[in-house]
Amino acid sequence: MAQLYFYYSAMNAGKSTSLLQSAYNYEERGMNALLYTAAVDDRAGTGVISSRIGLEREAQLFSATTDLFAEVLGMSHTQRFHCLLLDEAQFLSKEQVGQLCRIVDELAIPVLAFGLRTDFRAELFAGSQYLLAWADKLVELKTVCHCGRKANHVLRVGADGQPIKEGAQVEIGGNDRYVSVCRKHYIEALARP
């Protein structure tokens, strides 16, 4: 039975690596994996899922206007897919998470979505909010703070390394812009003048 999975974490927990490993596992067994990534994040190139350990793979793009159900339904007329793997799931809209549910329920294709739970203000992204509410299975991927505790928050930092407290929810960046920390160090960093 197909299910909707949401693999979530702070940054640098290996979400993209896990997604790419899942694709490999399916394909090693002769199954077709359909990969998607967010058009807004082109750090590794347009339509590329890339991990920090050097793995990468081409993927379909989704944007705010993509109807994922219609696209997958259209593609499934010419090719059978055994799973849909979606990176940067935090950028999905409420409607798109509903479309993923339809892919699972109506097309019987398992969906594994990977993304951040919260932004740099410790607030849910829309995609994450509805995945947390509607997914069949929730899996937290863990990473660590510099102190050794589990990192569950993300700090946005400026060029000077100081935390940024305000700004747009979405600002694409990597280790140069974001640091994963535990709640204690998140609160302490934001309390500094």
Comparing C-alpha atoms, which of 79, 138, 83, 82 is closest to residue 111? Answer: 83
Tokens 């990192």 correspond to 151
Comparing C-alpha atoms, which of 22, 51, 33, 18 is closest to residue 174? Answer: 51
CB neighbourhood size of 45 (10 A): 10
Q: How far apart are CA 144 and CA 69, in angstroms?
A: 36
In the set 27, 28, 88, 106, the catalytic residue is 88
Active site residue 106: no
Q: How far apart are CA 45 and CA 129, in angstroms?
A: 27
Q: What are the structure tokens assigned to 137, written together? A: 């299975």
Q: Annotated catalytic sites, by residue? A: 88
